[in-house]
Amino acid sequence: MDEQGSKHDDRRIVGPWRRPKNLSADAAGSIHDEGTATALGLRGGTVAGNIHMDQLPPLLVEAFGAGWFETGSMSLYFRHATTDLEEVQAWVERPVDGALQVACGMTARTGEVVCEGTASVGAPSEPTALEARDKRSVDPSTLRILRDLHEGQHLPGRTMIADGAGQRRRLAAGVVTEPLDWYDGSSPWGGPVASPLTVVDLLYSAPLHPLRDRVGEAVGLFGAIEIRFHGAPVLLDEAYEVDGEIVAISDSPQTEVLWYDARAVDQSGALVATLRMMNRFFKASSPRYAEG
């Protein structure tokens, strides 16, 4: 296989092996920090899920055309946390008979499934991977970290800028796993477009910001991410109004789980992009569990 291009077979478009970098390794107290991650039972500081998402767009453009950046989605559930520079390979199922939605995912060199889900373009009739997933909501009274939150709760947002400077720094440093010319130059939509990492950064933090005090000191991990475009790509350095709402709250033996949606509206009032995010908060990292 050509390391610079995608591999072709009858069923899948398979990308080259890449070594994503842990871009937040110096974020002390986060799941990306070596000491924090190992203390919570992981193998080391983790590569964020939205970094992995940047490996898929060339395959999605091959599968669906440039229109993926206009009406496409990428819906991924993360199963195996990778560490700095571990090799991974992305794949996308080939659309057959005009299919608008296909399976996609990523595999580690060691064989583990890093993530799996769906990608689409247009308006497929079937739900995305995360829309179809059982979110197993629980009684909030059984929770500690997320005890003050509830389903349907509006998450007021704010004006956010699609971070062109950050995307250009990553491109210049050579840490974008699969760079496209459209990320730092002219594109079919005029100026440069946001990569999936930049889209997630635009959407995920503003709705969470007002919850920081209510969640308390707890280490979080991206467990699932879906992005969707609604007629146009996210353009770099453009301002968007971002807000959201809580979809579900659940738990597992080691984590409490928050599902929420976010949306970005441009200055004309048009919906441009949406996010569905699942954050896992480690019980072992929260003083609320230490209190007994």
Domain 7-122+141-290: assigned CATH number: 3.10.129.10
Sketch the domain layout of the chain as residue ranges.
7-122+141-290
Query: 73 and 229 in contact (C-beta within 8 Å)?
Result: yes
* Per-residue pLDDT, 292: 59
- The helix (run of H) or strand (run of E) holding residue 249 is strand 239-251
Query: 126 and 101 in contact (C-beta within 8 Å)?
Result: yes
Give CA–CA dist 161/132, Å, rounded: 31
* Per-residue pLDDT, 2: 41
Q: Which residues in the chain come in under a pLDDT of 70?
A: 1-8, 292
* Per-residue pLDDT, 138: 86
Strands (E), the chain: 7-8, 12-14, 73-78, 88-93, 101-108, 113-120, 154-161, 220-229, 239-251, 255-265, 271-282
Task: Name the phi and psi angles at 124, rounded to 5.
Answer: -65, 155
Query: 169 and 153 in contact (C-beta within 8 Å)?
Result: no
* Per-residue pLDDT, 257: 96
Give CA–CA dist 176/7, Å, rounded: 20
Q: What are the structure tokens assigned to 248, written together?
A: 């579900």
* Per-residue pLDDT, 10: 82
Within 10 A of 201 (CB to CB), how many other CB atoms are there? 18
* Per-residue pLDDT, 6: 56
> What 8-state DSSP symbol labels residue 169?
H
Query: 134 and 111 in contact (C-beta within 8 Å)?
Result: no
Give CA–CA dist 162/232, Å, rounded: 14
Digit-coded pLDDT (tens) for 73-111: 999 999 999 999 999 999 999 999 999 999 999 999 999
Q: What are the structure tokens assigned to 205, written together?
A: 């933090």
